[in-house]
Amino acid sequence: MCSLFFISLSSFIISCMLNIFKKKDQGTKVIDKIWMTEENKLKALVEIAQINPDTFFVAWFDDSRNQLEEIFTKENLMVQNIISARQCNGHLVQNNPMIFIEHYPLRGKEEKLFDEIQRKEILIYSALDEPLFKRFGGDKIVEMMKQLGMKDTESIENSMISGAIRNAQDKIEKKLQMEQTSRSQNDWLSRNLPS
């Protein structure tokens, strides 16, 4: 009887130790597709809308949403599926494909929305000439990509770059005292992180 107790206790302790070292659930997987220029990123978004008109395009900033709406209108594409992050909820987008057309400067705010919409994966399209990237060394990455022979029309998916984005967002979050909302990413950075 005593040995059975020790076997059970040993099993319990081993199970607890394994749970401590087990990887925690990382939540939503974020996939970054990054272009050298915003112009080429926008062309890629147009191509996706042409191939799959059910795709939702989510903008964090009004200026980004308006810019994409203008381009879609010129290309005779539906603008109804271009929404702001404020409108984004699980019921609206349901099982339709969805692409975020930019990062928000604060990682916590992104993760909160990603949890609310309950997606296993989130696809984010970005460009290295966007204000967030320019502020944190996007020009250096562009030079590296060019040296590797990448063309402007190609995108890159790289875990190191995705990690650098998260680190930049975390740095911003640590510096931020009180957030001021803005219509554009550039304006947000100017108001909330003065040089």
Q: Domain boundaries in the chain?
A: 27-192
Residues with Cβ within 8 Å of 169's Cβ and at least 6 positions away in sequence, in order, are 103, 104, 105, 106, 107, 110
Q: Which CATH number fits domain 27-192: 3.30.420.40, 3.40.50.300, 1.10.3860.10, 1.20.1440.230?
A: 3.40.50.300
Average pLDDT value for residue range 44-66: 96
Say which residue, 61 or 19, is predicted with more confidence: 61
Average pLDDT value for residue range 89-93: 67
Say which residue, 190 or 16, is predicted with more confidence: 190
Predicted confidence band of residue 67 (pLDDT cuts 50, 70, 90): very high
pLDDT averaged over the chain?
A: 83
- Give the helix/strand (H/E) hosting 11: helix 2-21
Contacts 24+ apart (CB under 8 A), 168-176: 168/132, 168/135, 168/136, 169/103, 169/104, 169/105, 169/106, 169/107, 169/110, 170/107, 171/136, 172/105, 172/106, 173/106, 173/107, 173/108, 176/106
Query: Is the per-residue pLDDT at 138 higher than 60?
Result: yes
Query: Is the per-residue pLDDT at 91 higher than 90?
Result: no
Q: Give the pLDDT of residue 93.
A: 67
In one-letter notation, the amino acid at residue 49 is A
Query: Is the per-residue pLDDT at 87 higher than 70?
Result: yes
- The total of other beta-carbon atoms located within 10 Å of residue 111's CB is 17
Name the token pair of 103: 């990062």
Say which residue, 135 or 14, is predicted with more confidence: 135
The residue written with tokens 């809308």 in the block is 49
Q: Give the pLDDT of residue 133.
A: 85
Query: Is the per-residue pLDDT at 5 higher than 80?
Result: no
Lowest mean pLDDT among 81-85, 138-142, 152-156: 138-142
